[in-house]
Amino acid sequence: MQMRSWIVGLTVLAVALAAPWAVQAQTTDRSGVEGKVVDQGGGVLPGVSVTIASPALLGGDRTSVTDAEGAFRFTALPAGVYQVTLELTGFDVKKREVRLDTGFVATIVTAMKCNPENALAVICGPPIMIKTCIGSLAKLDWKDEQIYTTLENKMKCGIGKCGRCNIGGVYVCVDGPVFTYAQVKKMLPDQ
C-alpha cells in the first residue's frame, strides 16, 4: 500500500514537471492570478509585461510588470476565464488561459523562450563573463551582428595619444569602445 502511494506521488510530480505551465489553485480570501517568469536557463526575468484579459473584468484588461524576482500578481479578480499574455523584447510572446473560481489564486510558473528577432544584446563586464554570455547567446541563435560588447579594457589614455588601444588600424578609444561581436572577431580572431 505504501509502495502504491509512492508510485502515485511520483506520477503526479512527473506530470507537474513536464507541464510547460504549472497552474495550482489555492483557497484564499480573494481571487487572483500570480506567478513567476524565468528564461530557458531558469534565470528570473524582470520587466516582463503581463496582461490579463477576461469578459469578467469590468474595467478592461489589466497589465503588470514582473519585479526583480520575475514575480507578478493580480488581486481581487472576479471569477471567470482569463487570457494571460507575457511579453518581453527578445522573447517569444507567451499566452495562457486560466480559469479562476471565486476565492482561488491561480499560480503560474513559466519559462519564456528567447527570440533574437528585432533585438540586440549589449554585454558589459569582465572578459570571462562577456565570453560566457556570447557563447550562451550563440547557442540561442543570436547573430554576431546583434551582439554588442566593449573593448575598453584595451584603453589607457582614452584620447588617441598613447597608441595602446590600436588593433590592426582601429583605435578602440576613438572608433569604439563599443563594437559588434562581428567586428571584435575581425580585430581579435582568437576571441
Q: Minimum Å distance from CB 183 to ligand FES?
A: 16
Nearer to ligand FES, 99 or 164 (CB): 164
How many residues sit close enough to ligand FES to count as binding (CB under 6 A)?
Answer: 13
Q: Does 165 bind ligand FES (CB under 6 A)?
A: yes
- Of the chain, the end-to-end C-alpha distance in Å amounts to 60
Q: Does 161 bind ligand FES (CB under 6 A)?
A: yes
Nearer to ligand FES, 19 or 159 (CB): 159
Q: Minimum Å distance from CB 164 to ligand FES?
A: 5
Q: Minimum Å distance from CB 152 to ligand FES?
A: 9
* Backbone dihedral region for residue 60 (phi beyond 0: left; psi -120 to 50: alpha; all else: beta): left
Q: Out of 171, 179, 181, 183, point to the residue binding ligand FES (CB under 6 A).
A: 171
Q: Minimum Å distance from CB 155 to ligand FES?
A: 4
> In which element (H, E) is residue 172 found?
helix 172-175
Q: Out of 136, 158, 170, 178, point to the residue binding ligand FES (CB under 6 A).
A: 158
The secondary structure of the chain as a DSSP string is -HHHHHHHHHHHHHHHHH-SSEEEEEE-SS-EEEEEEEETTS-B-TT-EEEEE-TT-TT--EEEE--TTSEEEE-SPPSEEEEEEEE-TTB--EEEEEEE-TTEEEEEEEEEPB--TT--EEE-S-HHHHHHHHHHHHHTT--GGGEEEE-GGG-SSSSSSS-TTEETTEEHHHH-SEEEHHHHHHH-TT-
Nearer to ligand FES, 96 or 154 (CB): 154
Q: Does 157 bind ligand FES (CB under 6 A)?
A: yes
Residues 117-156 touching ligand FES, rule: CB under 6 A, are 155-156
Nearer to ligand FES, 87 or 175 (CB): 175
Give residues in contact with ligand FES (CB under 6 A): 155-158, 160-165, 171-173
